[in-house]
């Protein structure tokens, strides 16, 4: 009995010693191991925030799509070592067939024997059904360890609309290019970690819960872009680039009173839903990152600077050397040779010699300072990647006379389309230069506003009187003998400026006679501007390269449709009832005012009774043909540019007053 009690005491001592070692001395280590074995940590990736236009129309949204992963440990649990390789091959064959994957790829992932591995991400509905069939326990050998998990994917419902501005999201959830990259931190939100218990198969059976509900979604971004105006700009720009066989193009549309960018269109563009089939050139936001020599559009800002400095007066006349003026070691030429021109005529017919003489009288330093005040030579404050400042002056030295003259008509300097449009908007906004705004506001997932933009004046560049004076000069460009009559819009005064800038040949360092940048910028209406627009077409090759002929019609069509979209009526219009289009003003009296809509149609279309014949207008320019059609009581619809080739319906056809007549213009050969 003594020996037995001694043995029992010794055994009890061993047990107590082991218990002491486990519970007390090594207790922390064992508890940590147990915690790791029975709990599972999950990193919850928040749902990426939505990007909206100014009217809360979704431009980029995140949707849940199924993806398939595998737990190879659970899949091969209970299989003897000598049979594992055979079973791996069998399972890999079945899984590969269900997911349309190579058998070798699946077998390699299973052979690693890991708790988690992606098999295929973003699978189809048919593939999900095939995976569920593999998991069916009623069959002899169900495939264990397969998991179908919801995974966020970025979707762009309007496909290529504003694609170069928005950017795209890579499979790892990181924003690439555009707004998706610039505001990636805000859109992604903050990942959250949760803990839960798991069973012997590793499945999560209980979660502690998410501490911060805001982690479930990133912030939402509301842009200043208007989907309707953006669509108009992209459609017309793509048509122009295709028609003129151009290399690329861009359009920027700004509300001059606030600095909000209503549209930023680029061509070519791409579909961010399938970004992997696009090239880097297609994804470039050319309006913001491509710099170019502006050409004659710069004359407007040089003229405004000279008028503000009082180095020239509106009534002065400048001798323009009959189209040829040598300076230093170069000769400046004019497309329209002239003798004496006043400042308005210099802008109207775009005289290089006239603006060069004005700038030389102003002085290189004052011209440089004035252009800097318009924002040239400094990058804009837009929250977009790849911003450039452009080039305004050779580093380290002032302009020599020939450089001063060349800078006045846009040579030897470079700008971006955004810079050009904001400087134009400053003239439209009574001389006040505003910060461009592309992000209207940012809200969290609950709708609380975290940031909201408001108009910010950078500085006053010229006085309101000078801004109005320059606007009048720009209005002459689209009237009479101006270079931009193709940009004229019936019922509105257009303040604009054309440019046809030669490009430098990189091989020779000299200006090329075959490659140009055609552009047109302007604001409408000239007296109370609603839109400031800049159109740039790079290397138009088909037919003509003139800015007034290539970019002017694009400006006209974009602005005309945008103003109609915004409900801005041209001069000489009235409120009418569209359901009684054919009736006279007398018959319209007494109709329900609530049923009337605003339609920008000439008053002449509703005067008198009976039909009219389509007048013979073949061979006329756009402005004269449109005016004649309006006077006849018909509504003109303009297509193309150049001279009138035909009308639809044909000339002589009798139609009712107020009918639409399409004017088809074609370039002269």
* Full 3-state SS string of 363-409: CHHHHHHHHHHCCCCCCCCCCCCCCCCCECCCCCCCCCHHHHHHHHC
Query: Does the CA dihedral 175-179-181-187 come out positive or negative?
Result: negative
Catalytic site residue 296? yes
Residue 649, preceding peptide bond in cis (omega within 30° of 0):
yes
Q: Who wins on pLDDT, 189 or 296?
A: 296
Q: What is the pLDDT of the chain when averaged over all its residues?
A: 84
176, 283 contact by CB (below 8 A): no
29-38, 106-115, 270-279: least confidently modelled range: 29-38
Check pLDDT > 90 for residue 171: no
Q: pLDDT grade, residue 259 (50/70/90)?
A: very high
Residue 220: the pLDDT is 94
Torsion region of 658: left, alpha or beta (phi above 0 gives left; psi -120 to 50 gives alpha): left
Copy the structure tokens of residue 109: 């992932």
Q: What is the pLDDT of residues 81-106, one digit of tens each?
A: 778 888 888 888 989 998 989 989 88
478, 484 contact by CB (below 8 A): yes
Residue 288: the pLDDT is 93
Cα(90)–Cα(106) distance, integer angstroms: 11
Nearest to 302 by CA among 400, 160, 384, 411: 411
User: Average pLDDT for residues 191-207, to the nearest whole number?
Assistant: 60
Residues 6+ apart with CB under 8 A from 192: 43, 44, 46, 210, 211, 212, 215, 216
Nearest to 377 by CA among 300, 462, 291: 291
Cα(461)–Cα(24) distance, integer angstroms: 79
145-154, 230-239, 414-423, 590-599: least confidently modelled range: 590-599
Q: What is the pLDDT of residues 451-467, one digit of tens each?
A: 999 999 999 999 999 99
306-315, 504-513, 515-524, 545-554: least confidently modelled range: 504-513
Neighbours of 12 (CB within 10 A): 10
409, 355 contact by CB (below 8 A): yes
Q: What is the pTM of this model?
A: 0.75
Residue 131: the pLDDT is 87
Cα(192)–Cα(203) distance, integer angstroms: 19
| N- to C-terminal Cα separation, the chain | 126
Q: What secondary structure, in 3-state letters, does 217-253 show?
A: ECCEEEECCCHHHHHHHHHHHHHHHHHCCCCEEEEEE
Check pLDDT > 50 for residue 595: no
Residue 668: the pLDDT is 62
User: Average pLDDT for residues 228-255, to the nearest whole number?
Assistant: 94
User: Average pLDDT for residues 458-484, to the nearest whole number?
Assistant: 93
249, 240 contact by CB (below 8 A): yes
Q: Identify the DSSP state of 62.
A: E
Residue 375: the pLDDT is 93
Residue 478: the pLDDT is 92
Element housing 512 (H / E): strand 511-524
Cα(267)–Cα(258) distance, integer angstroms: 26
**What are the C-alpha distances in Å from 298 to residues 14, 305, 454, 499?**
95, 11, 28, 9
Nearest to 521 by CA among 389, 421, 386: 421
Residue 20: the pLDDT is 84
Residue 656: the pLDDT is 79
Cα(603)–Cα(605) distance, integer angstroms: 5
Nearest to 269 by CA among 254, 289, 286, 256: 286
Check pLDDT > 80 for residue 40: no
Neighbours of 423 (CB within 10 A): 26
Half-sphere exposure of 249 (CA within 13 A, CB side): 31
User: Average pLDDT for residues 651-667, to the nearest whole number?
Assistant: 80
Which residue is catalytic, options 164, 250, 296, 414? 296
Cα(36)–Cα(617) distance, integer angstroms: 86
Residue 597: the pLDDT is 35
Neighbours of 531 (CB within 10 A): 23
Check pLDDT > 50 for residue 3: yes
Neighbours of 658 (CB within 10 A): 19
Copy the structure tokens of residue 559: 């602005």
The 10 Å CB-count burial string (b at 16+, else e) for 135-164 is eeeeeeeebbbbbeeebbbbebebebbbbb
In order of their start, the domains of the chain are: 43-223 (3.90.1310.10), 227-271+285-566 (3.40.710.10), 575-666 (3.30.10.20)
Check pLDDT > 80 for residue 205: no
Q: What is the pLDDT of residues 378-389, one digit of tens each?
A: 999 898 988 888
Q: What is the pLDDT of residues 363-373, one digit of tens each?
A: 999 999 999 99
């Amino acid at each position: 009995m003594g020996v037995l009690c001694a043995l029992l005491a010794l055994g009890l001592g061993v047990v107590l010693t082991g218990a002491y070692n486990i519970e007390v001395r090594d207790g922390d280590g064992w508890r940590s191991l147990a915690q790791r074995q029975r709990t599972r940590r999950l990193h919850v990736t928040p749902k990426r925030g939505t990007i909206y236009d100014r009217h809360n129309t979704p431009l980029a949204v995140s949707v849940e799509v199924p993806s398939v992963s595998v737990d190879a440990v659970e899949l091969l649990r209970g299989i003897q070592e000598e049979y594992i390789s055979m079973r791996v091959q069998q399972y890999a064959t079945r899984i590969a067939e269900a997911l349309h994957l190579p058998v070798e790829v699946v077998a390699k992932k299973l052979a690693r024997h890991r708790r988690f591995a992606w098999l295929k991400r973003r699978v189809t509905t048919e593939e999900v059904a095939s995976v569920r069939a593999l998991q069916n326990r009623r069959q002899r050998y169900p495939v264990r360890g397969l998991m179908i998990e919801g995974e966020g994917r970025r979707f762009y419902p309007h496909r290529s609309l504003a694609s170069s501005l928005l950017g795209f999201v890579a499979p790892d959830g990181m924003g690439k290019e555009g707004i998706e990259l610039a505001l990636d931190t805000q859109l992604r939100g903050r990942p959250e970690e949760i803990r839960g218990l798991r069973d012997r198969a590793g499945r999560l059976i209980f979660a502690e819960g998410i501490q911060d509900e805001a982690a479930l979604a990133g912030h939402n971004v509301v842009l200043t872009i208007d989907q309707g105006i953006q669509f108009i700009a992209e459609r017309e720009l793509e048509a122009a680039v295709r028609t003129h066989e151009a290399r690329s193009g861009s359009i920027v549309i700004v509300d001059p009173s606030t600095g909000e960018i209503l549209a930023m269109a680029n061509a070519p563009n791409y579909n961010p839903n399938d970004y992997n089939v696009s090239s880097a050139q297609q994804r470039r936001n050319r309006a913001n990152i491509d710099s170019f020599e502006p050409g004659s559009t710069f004359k407007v800002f040089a003229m405004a600077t000279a008028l503000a400095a009082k180095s020239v007066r509106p009534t002065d006349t400048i001798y323009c050397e009959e189209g040829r003026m040598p300076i230093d070691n170069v000769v400046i030429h004019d497309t329209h040779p002239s003798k004496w021109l006043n400042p308005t005529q210099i802008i109207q017919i775009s005289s290089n010699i006239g603006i060069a003489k004005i700038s030389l009288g102003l002085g290189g330093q004052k011209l440089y300072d004035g252009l800097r005040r318009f924002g040239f030579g400094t990058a804009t404050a837009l929250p977009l990647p790849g911003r450039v400042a452009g080039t305004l002056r050779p580093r380290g030295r002032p302009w020599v006379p020939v450089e001063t003259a060349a800078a006045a008509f846009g040579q030897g300097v470079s700008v971006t389309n955004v810079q050009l449009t904001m400087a134009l908007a400053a003239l439209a906004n009574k001389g006040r230069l505003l910060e461009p705004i592309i992000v209207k506001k940012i809200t969290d997932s609950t709708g609380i506003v975290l940031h909201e933009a408001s108009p910010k004046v950078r500085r006053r560049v010229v006085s309101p009187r000078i801004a109005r004076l320059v606007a009048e000069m720009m209005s002459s460009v689209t009237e009479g003998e101006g270079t931009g009559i193709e940009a004229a819009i019936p019922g509105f005064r257009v303040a604009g400026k054309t440019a046809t800038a030669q490009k430098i040949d990189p091989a020779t360092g000299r200006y090329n006679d075959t490659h140009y940048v055609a552009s047109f910028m302007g604001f409408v209406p000239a007296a109370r501007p609603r839109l400031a627009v800049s159109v740039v077409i790079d290397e138009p090759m088909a037919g003509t390269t003139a800015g007034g002929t290539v970019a002017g019609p694009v400006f006209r069509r974009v602005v005309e449709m945008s103003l109609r979209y915004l409900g801005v009526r041209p001069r000489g219009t009235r409120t009418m009832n569209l359901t009684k289009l054919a009736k006279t003003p007398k018959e319209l009296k007494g109709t329900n005012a609530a049923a009337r809509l605003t339609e920008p149609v000439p008053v002449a279309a509703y005067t008198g009774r009976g039909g009219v014949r389509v007048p013979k207008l073949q061979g006329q320019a756009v402005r004269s043909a449109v005016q004649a059609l309006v006077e006849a009581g018909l509504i003109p619809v303009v297509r193309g540019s150049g001279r009138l080739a035909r009308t639809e319906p044909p000339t002589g056809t009798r139609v009712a007053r107020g009918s639409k007549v399409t004017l088809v213009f074609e370039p002269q050969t």
